[in-house]
Every structure is written in structure tokens, then in C-alpha cells.
């Protein structure tokens, strides 16, 4: 029995079958809307992670009954086309593609998804244009958007989003300022027209059950999946996760209000400390008239260029960007994706079967 699982009695132990654990009627009912929307067995999404969410991890999540999402990041259309085809060769289950709205080739990337028959497109990085929304929907794909506040959630639904993700500031990667607990209370009771998936800080099935009972359609997890066996992240990247505590995953800090920094949550390392020094030096040079405001802003923005790749692919966890959410403190070992999903479900079943949360480890 894995040490981090509650003891399960026969009544709640999920039945393992070829396609993964069968759900109890209670859990199946809580997950039904999300699973139906995604076309999956479980309402569990693997959050898109640049460099990490490629064919291997995405297909593993989808094959295990979840919903994998390819992170397009800065890929050009031809590369995305290859990645989608390679993923389709590894799974016949549904998966999605996450596109960043400010990508200069966004229209071409959407066209690639539609041509390849991708069923769900996630548009991240800001409210998408009406044109992008129409192209996704006219192409027959379902549109998923991120809603960082209730007012934006309402606007995205009016704009045509078929589902929303609300991602709390506990999450890894680029983050907003509000925690999932607050976003959930603000948004879940109000937005019922479309399924709403929750993300940020999630690592256990019992916690996810609480959110499903509040009205969430399903959960999206990133940090936990980045450390799985099928993730191509460098062994040093995964090892950094296993040794980290929640408080080691901090948002990047903006030193000078004249030069905005979009907060990114990741493990503190030599690179994050150098980033502070770089901002201080850039501010000083601007103050002294040695650089223009535009040059200074660009130099701050470019500091992290290529840094996630350096950490994920090259394993440079000192100078690279080791994006991770606060849930990193709960990720302790490298497990296959199917095992991770089975554990989440077992934890969910345990609490739904009426076992006191106090007994759960
Ligand atoms: C290493 C890493 C890279 C990420 N890259 C992206 C990305 O390219 N696009 C995106 O929309 N979200 C990205 N995210 C956010 C995830 O999709 C997901 O929403 C988030 O990890 C959920 O929170 P959690 O890490 O606490 O589970 C990234 C997260 C991590 C940890």
C-alpha cells in the first residue's frame, strides 16, 4: 500500500480494469459533465506545460482516461502539425491543444488544429479576439479559455467559450493574483452555462472532490504530471521537484513599477536571484539615462528567453526556469501517469465513501 494513500476498504477500492479504475456512482455523477465535455473517462485534464506537454505525456494522460493537452508555446505551425500527428499515432483518445493568444501565427495554428481534427482548443494568455473564437468554433472544435476573474468569466461565456478553466495563483507557470479557493467561491456558483474546470495547487483526489461538490466540472493538474514517468522533463528537473517544499515555489518578483514583470511561479534558484539583480541594474541604468525605457523593458522581458527549455530539456535547474506550483511539496516520487490518476481517484472515492477526512493521511 503506498504510504500516502488512505487505507481503503473493499467497498471503496476502485475496481481496476483494462481502461483504468471504474468510478463509483457518486464520483461518476460528480464527473459526468466534465467527462462528457472532454469525451474522456475521467474529468482530469493535464494542464499544458511548454516543453513538457508533448506527444509522450499527452498521449499517456489520454490513454489513462484523462485529457492530455499539447502545449504549443512558441512552436511554428509546421512543428505543431508534426506534434499533433505524433500524438495521434500514440493515442486514439481525445486530447487538446493549448495556443497562446499572442502567438504571431495564431490563425495558422488554429487552422492546423482544425485540419488535424483536434476536438478541443485551449486559448491561453489573455482574452482571445472574436476572430480567433469564431475560427475555432466554425472549424468544429470546442473552445476552452482561462478565466482569472468573474467579470472575465462572464465575458468569455458571452464571447463563445464552451468551457472555462479557473487557475489559482498556487499554480506553476504564469499566474494571476488570486488563489483557487477564492476564484472557486467567486466563479463556480455564478457560471453554470458552461463546464468550469479548476486548476492550481491540486494534488489529491479528496481536495478535488470538494471542488466538484462546489460545482466544478473537473480538475486540471500540471506540476504533478510534469514529474511522472512519461514526462520527458530531464531527471534533474524531476529530482528538483521531489526535493522541494511548497514554499520553494515562488512567483517572480517585480522590482520597479515602471517595468512590469508577469509573475511566473517556479522554484527559487540562482537564475531567479540573478533576475532580481538584472532588474535592479536595468532600473539603475534607466535612471542614469544609459538606456531607454523600451530597451530596459525588453531587456527584462528577454531575461528568461529559452530558460524553461534549459531547465526542462537540458536539466539546468540552477540557471533555467524551473516552473512549478505550490503542490510541488506534495510530489515525492516518479510514478506512471496511470498510477497517478488511479491514486487521485482512490483518494476521491475514499472521501466520498464517507470516511472522515481526519483519517486520510
Ligand atoms: C512547467 C510548467 C509549464 C507550464 N506551461 C504552461 C503553458 O505553456 N501554457 C499554459 O497555459 N499553462 C502552462 N502551465 C500551467 C499548467 O497548464 C497548469 O494550469 C498548472 O500547472 C496547474 O497548476 P499546478 O501546477 O498547481 O497543478 C505550466 C505549468 C508548469 C508547471
- pLDDT for res 80: 98
Give me ligand 1 centre to Cα 291, in Å.
34
Q: What is the pLDDT of residues 251-287, one digit of tens each?
A: 999 999 999 999 999 999 999 999 999 999 999 999 9
pLDDT of 1 strictly over 50? no
Give me ligand 1 centre to Cα 281, in Å.
30
Please check whether residue 321 is in contact with residue 311, taking contact to mean a CB–CB distance below 8 angstroms. Answer: yes
Ligand 1 atom showing the smallest separation from residue 233 Cα: 1
Which residue, by CA, sits nearest to atom 1 of ligand 1?
A: 323
Q: For residues 117 and 243, what is the distance between their CA atoms, to the nearest angstrom?
A: 40
Going by pLDDT thresholds of 50, 70 and 90, the confidence category of residue 20 is confident
- pLDDT for res 5: 38
Give me ligand 1 centre to Cα 172, in Å.
5
Strand, helix or coil at 110? helix
Tally of CB atoms within 10 A around 90: 16
- pLDDT for res 29: 97
Q: For residues 4 and 295, what is the distance between their CA atoms, to the nearest angstrom?
A: 50
- pLDDT for res 355: 82
Which residue, by CA, sits nearest to atom 11 of ligand 1?
A: 124
Over range 16-33, report the average pLDDT: 85
pLDDT of 314 strictly over 60? yes
Give me ligand 1 centre to Cα 298, in Å.
24
Q: Which residues pair with 174 in a beta bridge?
A: 264
Total-model pTM: 0.93
pLDDT over 90 percentage in the chain: 92
pLDDT over 70 percentage in the chain: 93
Query: Going by C-beta distance under 8 Å and a sequence separation of 6 or more, which residues neighbour residue 230?
Result: 56, 57, 60, 336, 337
Residue to mutate, 127, 171, 175, ligand 1, most ligand atoms under 8 Å from C-beta: 171
Please check whether residue 258 is in contact with residue 293, taking contact to mean a CB–CB distance below 8 angstroms. Answer: yes
- pLDDT for res 19: 67
Please check whether residue 352 is in contact with residue 209, taking contact to mean a CB–CB distance below 8 angstroms. Answer: yes
Q: What is the pLDDT of residues 150-181, one digit of tens each?
A: 999 999 999 999 999 999 999 999 999 999 99
Which residue, by CA, sits nearest to atom 10 of ligand 1?
A: 48
Over range 349-357, report the average pLDDT: 85
Which residue, by CA, sits nearest to atom 8 of ligand 1?
A: 50
Q: What is the pLDDT of residues 187-210, one digit of tens each?
A: 999 999 999 999 999 999 999 999
pLDDT of 3 strictly over 60? no
Going by pLDDT thresholds of 50, 70 and 90, the confidence category of residue 356 is low
Please check whether residue 132 is in contact with residue 107, taking contact to mean a CB–CB distance below 8 angstroms. Answer: yes
Please check whether residue 321 is in contact with residue 308, taking contact to mean a CB–CB distance below 8 angstroms. Answer: yes
Which residue, by CA, sits nearest to atom 19 of ligand 1?
A: 47
Q: Is the dihedral of CA 158, 161, 165, 168 positive or negative?
A: negative
Query: Going by C-beta distance under 8 Å and a sequence separation of 6 or more, which residues neighbour residue 239?
Result: none
One of 3.90.1150.10, 2.20.28.160, 3.20.20.70, 3.40.50.2000 is the CATH number of 16-234+332-355, namely 3.20.20.70
Give me ligand 1 centre to Cα 282, in Å.
29
Q: Where are the domains of the chain?
A: 16-234+332-355, 246-323
Q: For residues 198 and 206, what is the distance between their CA atoms, to the nearest angstrom?
A: 14
Residue to mutate, 44, 46, 48, ligand 1, most ligand atoms under 8 Å from C-beta: 48
Within 6 A (CB) of ligand 1 lie 47-50, 52, 71, 73, 98, 124, 167, 170-173, 199-202, 220-224, 226, 323-325, 327
Residue to mutate, 52, 144, 173, ligand 1, most ligand atoms under 8 Å from C-beta: 173
Q: What is the pLDDT of residues 53-95, one digit of tens each?
A: 999 999 999 999 999 999 999 999 999 999 999 999 999 999 9
Which residue, by CA, sits nearest to atom 21 of ligand 1?
A: 222
- pLDDT for res 13: 39
Residue to mutate, 172, 208, 244, 310, ligand 1, most ligand atoms under 8 Å from C-beta: 172
As to burial, measured by CB atoms within 10 angstroms (0-12 exposed, 13-18 middle, 19+ buried), residue 160 is middle
Ligand 1 atom showing the smallest separation from residue 312 Cα: 1
Give me ligand 1 centre to Cα 222, in Å.
5
Element (H, E) at 157: helix 150-159
Over range 102-124, report the average pLDDT: 98
Give me ligand 1 centre to Cα 221, in Å.
8
Give me ligand 1 centre to Cα 313, in Å.
16
First to last CA, the chain: 13
Please check whether residue 217 is in contact with residue 43, taking contact to mean a CB–CB distance below 8 angstroms. Answer: yes
- pLDDT for res 357: 54
Average pLDDT over the chain reads 93
Amino acid at each position: 500500500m503506498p504510504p500516502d494513500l488512505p487505507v481503503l476498504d473493499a467497498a471503496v477500492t476502485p475496481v481496476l480494469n483494462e481502461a483504468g479504475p471504474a468510478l463509483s456512482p457518486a464520483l461518476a455523477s460528480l464527473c459526468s459533465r466534465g467527462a462528457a465535455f472532454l469525451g474522456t473517462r475521467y474529468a482530469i485534464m493535464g494542464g499544458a506545460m511548454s516543453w513538457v506537454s508533448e506527444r509522450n505525456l499527452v498521449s499517456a494522460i489520454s490513454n489513462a482516461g484523462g485529457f492530455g493537452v499539447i502545449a504549443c508555446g512558441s512552436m511554428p505551425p509546421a512543428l505543431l502539425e508534426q506534434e499533433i500527428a505524433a500524438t495521434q499515432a500514440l493515442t486514439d483518445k481525445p486530447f487538446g491543444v493549448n495556443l497562446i493568444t499572442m502567438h504571431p501565427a495564431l490563425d495558422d495554428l488554429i487552422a492546423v488544429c482544425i485540419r488535424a481534427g483536434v476536438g478541443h482548443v485551449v486559448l491561453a494568455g489573455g482574452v482571445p479576439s472574436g476572430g480567433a473564437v469564431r475560427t475555432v468554433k466554425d472549424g468544429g472544435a470546442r473552445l476552452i479559455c482561462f478565466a482569472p476573474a468573474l467579470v472575465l468569466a462572464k465575458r468569455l461565456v458571452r464571447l463563445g467559450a464552451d468551457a472555462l478553466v479557473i487557475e489559482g495563483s498556487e499554480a506553476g507557470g504564469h499566474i494571476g493574483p488570486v488563489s483557487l479557493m477564492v476564484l472557486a467561491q467567486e466563479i463556480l456558483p455564478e457560471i453554470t452555462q458552461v463546464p468550469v474546470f479548476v486548476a492550481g495547487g491540486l494534488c489529491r483526489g479528496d481536495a478535488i472532490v470538494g471542488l466538484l461538490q462546489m460545482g466544478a466540472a473537473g480538475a486540471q493538474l500540471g506540476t504533478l504530471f510534469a514529474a511522472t514517468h512519461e514526462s520527458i522533463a530531464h531527471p534533474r528537473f524531476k529530482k528538483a521537484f521531489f526535493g522541494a517544499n511548497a514554499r520553494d515555489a515562488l512567483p517572480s518578483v517585480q522590482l520597479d513599477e515602471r517595468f512590469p514583470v508577469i509573475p511566473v511561479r517556479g522554484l527559487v534558484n540562482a537564475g531567479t536571484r540573478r533576475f532580481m539583480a538584472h532588474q535592479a541594474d536595468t532600473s539603475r541604468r534607466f535612471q542614469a539615462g544609459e538606456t531607454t525605457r523600451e530597451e530596459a523593458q525588453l531587456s527584462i522581458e528577454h531575461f528568461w528567453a529559452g530558460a524553461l527549455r534549459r531547465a526542462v530539456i537540458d536539466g539546468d535547474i540552477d540557471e533555467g526556469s524551473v516552473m512549478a506550483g505550490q503542490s510541488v511539496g506534495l510530489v515525492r516520487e516518479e510514478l506512471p501517469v496511470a498510477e497517478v490518476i488511479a491514486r487521485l481517484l482512490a483518494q476521491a472515492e475514499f472521501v466520498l465513501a464517507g470516511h472522515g477526512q481526519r483519517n486520510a493521511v
